[in-house]
């Protein structure tokens, strides 16, 4: 149970830390090998690019945790707290629908890349389905986070009404 609570609270933070550190080390290795040893490594650039893709999608999920996604707040400023919660819940509902659609089509895309096209990356020969799996995985993570955010909004509304 402690592990679940820890992951619930810090999953994106640690994934971002690990992926960003790995990407930085790969780029540093590329610089050292290219300019010090005059032996550029082709695979470091490709792997850093794929890590960056995962990093972007994990960051989108982390933005939900921090409630930092872009939004137009001009209407929210004019509303009272109760109406703000309703509008935020409506926005979350549409975000959930969007996330479900992205998960569904993302899984289809990953399946196609792994089992139909069987496409591999040029240098590393990693199946592209693994790279593309960032889309449905992180969309599912966003879906979980937006559901958690909605539950918190509902609980906050019930406390305010009491």
| Side-chain-facing half-sphere of 54: CA atoms under 13 Å | 23
| Average pLDDT for runs of 10 along the chain of length 162 | 81 95 96 92 94 96 89 82 89 96 97 93 94 96 95 83 64
pLDDT score, position 160 = 66
Q: Report, in this order, helix, strand and coil percent for the chain, each rounded to 5.
A: 80, 0, 15
Q: Is 110 exposed, middle or buried (0-12, 13-18, 19+ CB in 10 A)?
A: buried
Q: For residue 115, what is the DSSP state?
A: I
Q: In angstroms, how far is the first alpha carbon of the chain from the final one?
A: 31
pLDDT score, position 161 = 66
Domain that holds residue 36: 2-161
Domain tally, the chain: 1
């Amino acid at each position: 149970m402690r592990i679940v609570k820890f992951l619930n609270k810090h999953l994106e933070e640690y994934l971002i830390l690990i992926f960003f550190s790995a990407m930085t080390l790969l780029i540093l290795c590329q610089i050292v090998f290219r300019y010090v040893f005059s032996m550029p490594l082709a695979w470091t650039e490709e792997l850093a690019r794929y890590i960056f893709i995962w990093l972007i999608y994990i960051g989108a999920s982390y933005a939900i945790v921090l409630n930092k996604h872009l939004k137009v707040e001009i209407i929210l400023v004019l509303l009272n707290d109760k109406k703000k919660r309703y509008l935020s819940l409506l926005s979350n509902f549409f975000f959930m629908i969007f996330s479900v659609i992205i998960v569904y089509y993302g899984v289809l895309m990953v399946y196609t890349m792994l089992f139909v096209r069987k496409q591999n990356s040029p240098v590393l020969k990693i199946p592209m389905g693994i790279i593309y799996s960032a889309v449905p995985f992180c969309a599912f993570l966003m879906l979980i986070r937006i559901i958690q955010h909605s539950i918190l909004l509902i609980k906050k509304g019930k406390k305010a009404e009491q």
